[in-house]
Structure 1
Amino acid sequence: MLEQINKFIEYWWFRYLMVTELYIVEKWERVTMHVILLILFLLVGYFNFSVVMPLVSKMIRPVFGWHAE
């Protein structure tokens, strides 16, 4: 089972490298891009958690009859 999980991860890692075309760059460039993409992903997650969720919560409260406590 561990071998299947490893194959699955390797397959998706290969696809990620092919789609982003990171397989043709040097290692230091690849690491830099991974860090940039990770930071971007974390910033989008933080924005969704801190801005979008409270906004949506305020919008759906009246729809379902929830009251702020």
Structure 2
Amino acid sequence: MFHSLRRICDGYADGAADGGPEDRARWEARGKAAAKMRTLMREDLGVGPLTERHSPLLDDYGHPAAQ
């Protein structure tokens, strides 16, 4: 999770466009990392998996997609 956030910050520092394809890919990777982290933490706590996604995918405009 930390590494995906670091890549987002580094991308902006390197001049990546907000909402551009590379930016959206980094945010999607962050969402997947967050989902993996939640799964691992819930397994560690001995509770069942979540039934819904809490980090929405980005739409074509770089905004969280409506679900």
Normalised-by-shorter TM-score class = 0.3 to 0.5
Flag the structure with more relative contact order, 1 or 2, with Cα contacts below 8 A and sequence separation at least 6.
2
Normalization by structure 2: what TM-score?
A: 0.40
Q: Per residue, is there more helix in 1 or in 2?
A: 1
TM-score (norm 1): 0.39
Structure with higher Rg: it is 1
